[in-house]
Amino acid sequence: MTLDPRTWTVKTSEAVSAAMQVAATAGHPELMPHHLLAELVKQDGTVTAPLLTKVGVPVTKVAEKCATALGKLPTTKGGAEPRLGRELASVFAEAAETQSEFKDDFLSVELLVVAMHEIVGVARDEMLAALKAVRGSHRVTSQNPEDQFQALEKYSVDLTARARDGKIDPVIGRDEEIRRVVQVLSRRTKNNPILIGEPGVGKTAIVEGLAQRIASGDVPEGLKSKRLLSLDLGAMLAGAKYRGEFEERLKAVLKEIIDAGGEVITFVDEIHNLVGAGGAEGAMDAGNMVKPMLARGELRM
């Protein structure tokens, strides 16, 4: 089987290169699935760890399995580049089939992990179900798709979860403002309150007070099951070197919010920063991306 790196994501290419280097250094004549899986579980910023967690297999256990298997492989001297082993070729073939099922444009690392389900010790169907849960409805349409997976988890803070865990201090003397915010959020249309005031007067405290009320159930029925998430624009902008990278991250966040079916209320601190954020020449800024969704009632902020 001939492998075409042009059809891989950046993370896949990096993992294969690292696996080749490890195999060559160890004197292994063939590149095996264990070489690749050992590198995949080391990578940061992919869904490999969440996927393994979802199926109840610790990353450390997989790494130990790979290390044990690699320690038993025969070695040669001479420094020749390892050739692609038949077992790893089968892994890539199976991953390519899954790629077609998912209608992905590029071969991503999590599909390779699923293809190595026997090493992981989990049935393929169970791995696929876990992958769908972790990835959601996102398809791999670029060579850097990781920014789009679990975007809400990466680029927001769940204030309701923090309130339940007792990590938010009690809010005193803001009952009237919190009640007004609840009233606006409870409308069917025009339900996006905006808090205006000088720096330091306690605008964010009102939102934290709302999170505490949602967590304790002290809100109207329509808000009781909601999650209040604080969107981190700084995290979305951080490291967005390439044109359109910020837009892709924001689109992924907005898509997950819409897919949540109205169960997510979004808080944006310093919301005026949305205007112009990420807008390079010929690109749409964050404000213009959010505006139509607010108008259609798909987004509550």
In a domain, 301, yes or no: no
Predicted pLDDT of residue 255: 81
- If asked whether residues 207 and 131 sit together in one domain, one would say no
Measured CA to CA, the distance from residue 19 to residue 35 in angstroms comes to 5
User: Which segment of 38-52, 165-179, 221-235, 264-278 scores lowest on mean pLDDT?
Assistant: 264-278
| Model pLDDT for residues 173-223, shown as the tens digit of each residue | 889 999 999 998 888 888 888 888 888 888 889 999 999 999 898 888 888
In a domain, 98, yes or no: yes
- If asked whether residues 70 and 159 sit together in one domain, one would say no
In a domain, 210, yes or no: yes
Measured CA to CA, the distance from residue 50 to residue 42 in angstroms comes to 13
Domain that holds residue 109: 5-138
- If asked whether residues 106 and 173 sit together in one domain, one would say no
Measured CA to CA, the distance from residue 106 to residue 11 in angstroms comes to 11
In a domain, 143, yes or no: no
- If asked whether residues 71 and 98 sit together in one domain, one would say yes
Q: Domain ends where: 100, 118, 138? A: 138
Q: Domain ends where: 107, 138, 169? A: 138
In a domain, 51, yes or no: yes
- If asked whether residues 204 and 251 sit together in one domain, one would say yes
Measured CA to CA, the distance from residue 23 to residue 45 in angstroms comes to 24
* Per-residue confidence band for 81, with pLDDT thresholds at 50, 70 and 90: confident
Q: How far is the first Cα of the chain from the last one, in angstroms, to the nearest whole number?
A: 51
* Per-residue confidence band for 111, with pLDDT thresholds at 50, 70 and 90: very high
Return the structure tokens found at 87: 């077992």
Could you tell me the CATH number of the domain that includes residue 98?
Answer: 1.10.1780.10
Predicted pLDDT of residue 112: 92
Place of tokens 């790494």: 63
pLDDT above 80: residue 149: no
- If asked whether residues 14 and 134 sit together in one domain, one would say yes
Q: Domain ends where: 138, 173, 196? A: 138
pLDDT above 60: residue 278: no
Region 128-145: what's the mean pLDDT?
Answer: 81
Query: What backbone torsions phi and psi does residue 149 show, to the nearest 5 degrees?
Result: -85, 135
- If asked whether residues 154 and 286 sit together in one domain, one would say yes
Amino acid identity at 77? K
Measured CA to CA, the distance from residue 232 to residue 250 in angstroms comes to 10
Q: Classify 247 as helix, strand or coil.
A: helix
pTM: 0.65
Place of tokens 């907005």: 254
pLDDT above 90: residue 64: yes
pLDDT above 50: residue 295: yes
Predicted pLDDT of residue 95: 92
Region 50-58: what's the mean pLDDT?
Answer: 90
- If asked whether residues 159 and 32 sit together in one domain, one would say no
- If asked whether residues 156 and 132 sit together in one domain, one would say no
In a domain, 145, yes or no: no
Region 255-265: what's the mean pLDDT?
Answer: 82
Amino acid identity at 299? L
Mean pLDDT (the chain) is: 84
- If asked whether residues 98 and 190 sit together in one domain, one would say no
pLDDT above 60: residue 281: no
Could you tell me the CATH number of the domain that includes residue 258?
Answer: 3.40.50.300
In a domain, 223, yes or no: yes
**How many structural domains compose the chain?**
2
Measured CA to CA, the distance from residue 239 to residue 241 in angstroms comes to 6
Predicted pLDDT of residue 269: 84
- If asked whether residues 129 and 84 sit together in one domain, one would say yes
pLDDT above 70: residue 284: no
Measured CA to CA, the distance from residue 256 to residue 266 in angstroms comes to 12
In a domain, 99, yes or no: yes
Predicted pLDDT of residue 87: 92
- If asked whether residues 208 and 172 sit together in one domain, one would say yes
Q: How would you classify residue 245: left for phi > 0, otherwise alpha for psi between -120 and 50, otherwise beta?
A: alpha
Predicted pLDDT of residue 282: 43
Amino acid identity at 184? V
Comparison of pLDDT for 296 and 172, the residue scoring more = 172
Predicted pLDDT of residue 264: 87
> In percent, how much of the chain has pLDDT > 70?
91
Q: Cα 252 vs. chain centroid, distance in angstroms?
A: 9
